[in-house]
Amino acid sequence: QTYFYAAHLGLDPNARDKFKSDPAYEQTIEFCAKYDEVSFDPAYKNEPLSTFEPMVRRVLSKDWTPP
């Protein structure tokens, strides 16, 4: 994740390269570029929180038993 903002913090954006041998590396790069990075864009179109309220209430209203 830090690839997109590491330089602003004085960190190495390419530090992620140490994980290149991991089988999930490419998928993670793609996910971060498609979804994570753009989620910090203030101009990115998204739904208001009220859109998700019924869904959250439905999930949280279910009976559950702690593990």
> DSSP of 15-62, one letter per residue?
GGGGGTTSTTHHHHHHHIIIIIGGGG-TT-----HHHHHHHHHHHHTS
pTM of the model: 0.55
pLDDT at 40: 78
pLDDT at 8: 84
Q: Which positions ≥6 away from 22 have C-beta within 8 Å?
A: 28
Whether the predicted pLDDT of 1 surpasses 80: no
Q: Which positions ≥6 away from 21 have C-beta within 8 Å?
A: none
Give the model confidence (pLDDT) of 7-56 as tens digits: 888 999 999 999 999 999 999 999 988 888 777 788 888 899 999 999 99
